[in-house]
Structure 1
Amino acid sequence: MLENKLIGFIGVGVMGRPMARRLIEQGHALMIYDRDAHALDELRKIGAQVADSVRAVADTAGVVFTSLPTPAIFRDVAIGAQGVVHGKAVKVLIDLSTVGSTTEKEVAAALLARGIETIDAPVSGGAAGAQKGTLAVMIAGKPEVVAQVRELFDVFGKTFNVGSEPGQGQLMKLLNNMLSSTAFAITSEAFVAGVKGGLEPETMMAVINAGSGKNGATQDKFPKQVLPRTFDFGFPIGSVCKDIGLAVDECQALGVPMWVGSTVRQLWNFAALQDGTKRDMTELVRYIEDWSGSAGGKK
C-alpha cells in the first residue's frame, strides 16, 4: 500500500457508492466526491470525508478511485482543467468505470506525463454484486503498481489480471458486457415467442437451464427480475446502449465484422428511443412483448 493511507473515491452513484461503502467497512479512510450532493449522504454518515471538488480529492489522497458513467465525464474528471491530473497528492488513479480503451489510454498517457500511474479496473456484477462484494474486477496496469494496491481490489470481489496496460481491462469488460446484453436480448425474444406459443414461462426456463440454451440471462436475470415481473436488476437500458456501442466500435477497429453485435446494438438502441433510456435493462422483455402484441407488454 502507498504511504498516504487516505483513499479518494470520485463518483459514488449506483455502483460507486456500495464499493466505497465496502472500503469504509473494511477500515479504510475515504475522501469522496460526487456532483450529486444527495449521493454523498449515506457515506458521510458512516465516516467518509466529503470533498467539495475533484481537485480537493486529488490534492489529499494518494490513491484515487473513479466510478463514472461516461467517457466524457471520466476524461473531464481525470484530465480536465480541474481534474485529478493537477492533484498534489495523487500517485495512482484506479478507474472502475466502463469508458472504452481509447479514452482509457488517452487519460493514462496524460496522467503518466505528470507522474501519475493508471490502473484500468472495470467491474462486472451489477449493483447487487457491488453490495455483496462479489464483483468480477478486470485489472490492467503495471504489475508493480497493481501490487501496491492489491488488497483494495479484494474488497470488491474476485480479481483477474487481464493485462499490463491501461485499456486492456476496458476491452475485457466491453466484451463481457456485449455477451451479457446479447444473451439477454435473444433470451427475451425466445421467451416472448414461447409464451405466445402456449408454453409456461417457468417450465420453459427450467428446460433451457437444464439444456444447451442456458446463459446468464436464463440463470440469473429471468428467474430474479423477469419472471417475478419486478424488473429491478439495477442497470438502465441507456447504459447497455453505451457499453455495447463502445464494444462494437472497438471490435470493428480490431477488424472484426460484428454482424451479430451490430444487430443487437440496434435492438437496444431502438428500445432506448421508445422512452427506454432510464428503464431497467430487464424491461427489454416488455418492449418485445409490446412489439409482438403479447399480453403483459410495456405499460
Structure 2
Amino acid sequence: MSTYDFCFIGLGTMGRPMATRLIDAGYSVIAYDPSETARTAIRKAGAAVADSATDAAAQAPVALLSLPTPNVVEQVVNGPDGLLTAEGASVIVDLSTTGPQVAKDIAQSAAAAGRTLVDCPVSGGAEGARAGTLALMLAGPSETVQALVPALKTLGNVFVVGNSAGQGQTMKVLNNLMSTAALAITSETMVLGAKSGLDPQAMLDVFNAGSGRNTTTTDKFPKHMLNRNFDFGMPIKLSAKDARLCLEEADRMGVPMPVGTAVRQMLNLTRDHLGPDVDMTEILRVIEQWAKHEVHAGT
C-alpha cells in the first residue's frame, strides 16, 4: 500500500531542489540518495528518507528519478536491486538526461515488468530547479502524462512533446546542444571583442538589444562568467555527455551535424584540459588561454 505521493531518487544539484518544491507544494515525498549529506538535507526539507531506492519505490505509486548519467539510470531501474524488482512505483518518471535510445530501452523493460516509463527530461539548470521555472519535456502515454501534469507544474513549465519514450530525450538533447553552441560562440566573440578593446558589458548590452541575444548573453555571461565565478551549476562532463547523446542520435537518424560536432569537440577539450568537474562556463577560460587575453568587467 502506498504511503507517499512520490518517491524521489537522486538528490543532487537538480534533484534536491525539485524534490523540495514538491514538498513545499504539499505533496508527500519519500526520497533516497547514496549521499548521507543529501539525505540529511532532504529530511530537513520535510521528506521521509528511505534506506534504498527500492525501499523508497515500495512506498509510492510514482518514482521520480534525477540521476547523473544513463548508466546510473539503467542500474537504478534495471539492476539486480533496481526499481523493477520493487513493489509499488507503477509509474517511473525519468527527469534525467539519458538520450533517446536509453529511454526507449528502459520503457521496454518497464513495460515487460508491468510498469510505465514517462520520459521527462528538464532544462533550466539549478537556478531554474530552485525557482520552479524549469522546462519539462514529457513523452509517454497520454492518460499517465495528464495525471502527472499538476504535480510537475510545481517544477516549471510543462511541455508534452510526444507519446513515446525517447521523444522527450530527443527534445532535451537538441535544446542542450543549441544552448551549448551559444555558450561556445559567445565565449569566442567576447574574447575577440575584449582583446580588440571593446568593453565586455557594452558588448553584452549590444548583443542583448540585437540579433545576437541568447541565453549566454542574457544569463550565463553576466551572472556567472564576467564576474569570473564560473558557477552556473552544470559540470562540463555532463554537458559533454549531453552533446554526445545528441550526436549519437543524429548518426542513427542520418542527419549531419558539423557545427554540433565542433561544439562537442570544444566541450571535450575543456573537460580534458581543466578537468571533468569544472563548470561548463569555464569553456571561456580555454579560449582565453589560447588567445592570451582574459575577459574582465570594465576591460
Q: TM-score, normalised by structure 1?
A: 0.96
Cα distance change on mapping 1:5 and 1:44 into 2, 3 Å: closer
Q: CA shift at 1:47, angstroms?
A: 2.2
Q: CA shift at 1:175, angstroms?
A: 0.1
Cα distance change on mapping 1:52 and 1:196 into 2, 3 Å: same
Q: CA shift at 1:275, angstroms?
A: 2.6
Residues 175-213 of structure 1 deviation map (CA, whole Å, 9 limit, x = unaligned): 000000000001000100111111110111111111111
Task: Quote the Cα distance in structure 1 between the aligned partners of 2:118 and 2:68.
Answer: 17
| Partner SS for 1:119 | strand
Report if the CA contact (8 A) 1:136-1:160 is conserved: yes
Aligned Cα RMSD in Å? 1.4
Q: Which residue of 2 aligns with 1:153?
A: 152
Q: CA shift at 1:113, angstroms?
A: 0.8
Q: Which residue of 1 aligns with 2:43?
A: 44
Task: Quote the Cα distance in structure 2 between the aligned partners of 1:120 and 1:96.
Answer: 7
Q: Which residue of 1 aligns with 2:236?
A: 237
Task: Quote the Cα distance in structure 2 between the aligned partners of 1:6 and 1:212.
Answer: 45
Matched ranges for 1:64-143 at <5 A: 64-143=63-142
| Partner SS for 1:158 | strand
User: Structure 1 stretches of 5 or more lacking a match?
Assistant: none
Q: Which residue of 2 aligns with 1:29?
A: 28
Paired amino acid for 1:268: L
Cα distance change on mapping 1:148 and 1:160 into 2, 3 Å: same
| Partner SS for 2:96 | coil
Report if the CA contact (8 A) 2:5-2:60 is conserved: yes
Q: Which moved more, 1:2-11 or 1:161-170?
A: 2-11
Q: CA shift at 1:276, angstroms?
A: 2.9
Report if the CA contact (8 A) 2:5-2:61 is conserved: yes
Report if the CA contact (8 A) 2:4-2:29 is conserved: no
| Partner SS for 1:32 | strand
Cα distance change on mapping 1:152 and 1:292 into 2, 3 Å: same
Paired amino acid for 1:69: P
Paired amino acid for 1:51: A
Cα distance change on mapping 1:190 and 1:296 into 2, 3 Å: closer
Q: CA shift at 1:4, angstroms?
A: 6.2
User: Structure 2 stretches of 5 or more lacking a match?
Assistant: none
Task: Quote the Cα distance in structure 2 between the aligned partners of 1:150 and 1:240.
Answer: 27
Paired amino acid for 2:234: F
Q: CA shift at 1:149, angstroms?
A: 1.7
Task: Quote the Cα distance in structure 2 between the aligned partners of 1:88 and 1:284.
Answer: 45
Cα distance change on mapping 1:201 and 1:296 into 2, 3 Å: closer
Task: Quote the Cα distance in structure 1 between the aligned partners of 2:49 and 2:153.
Answer: 24
Q: Which residue of 2 aligns with 1:214?
A: 213
Residue 187 (structure 1) aligned with residue 186 (structure 2): yes
Aligned-residue sequence identity (percent) comes to 46
Residues 48-76 of structure 1 deviation map (CA, whole Å, 9 limit, x = unaligned): 11111111112221100000000000000
Task: Quote the Cα distance in structure 2 between the aligned partners of 1:156 and 1:295.
Answer: 37
Paired amino acid for 1:141: G
Q: In the comparison of the two structures, how many residue pairs are matched?
A: 296
Task: Quote the Cα distance in structure 2 between the aligned partners of 1:291 and 1:75.
Answer: 39
| Partner SS for 1:234 | coil
Residue 12 (structure 1) aligned with residue 3 (structure 2): no
Matched ranges for 1:227-266 at <5 A: 227-266=226-265
Paired amino acid for 1:92: V
Residues 222-271 of structure 1 deviation map (CA, whole Å, 9 limit, x = unaligned): 11111222211111111110001111111121111111011110011011
Q: CA shift at 1:37, angstroms?
A: 1.4
| Partner SS for 2:161 | strand
Q: Which residue of 2 aligns with 1:167?
A: 166
Paired amino acid for 1:97: S
Q: CA shift at 1:24, angstroms?
A: 0.6
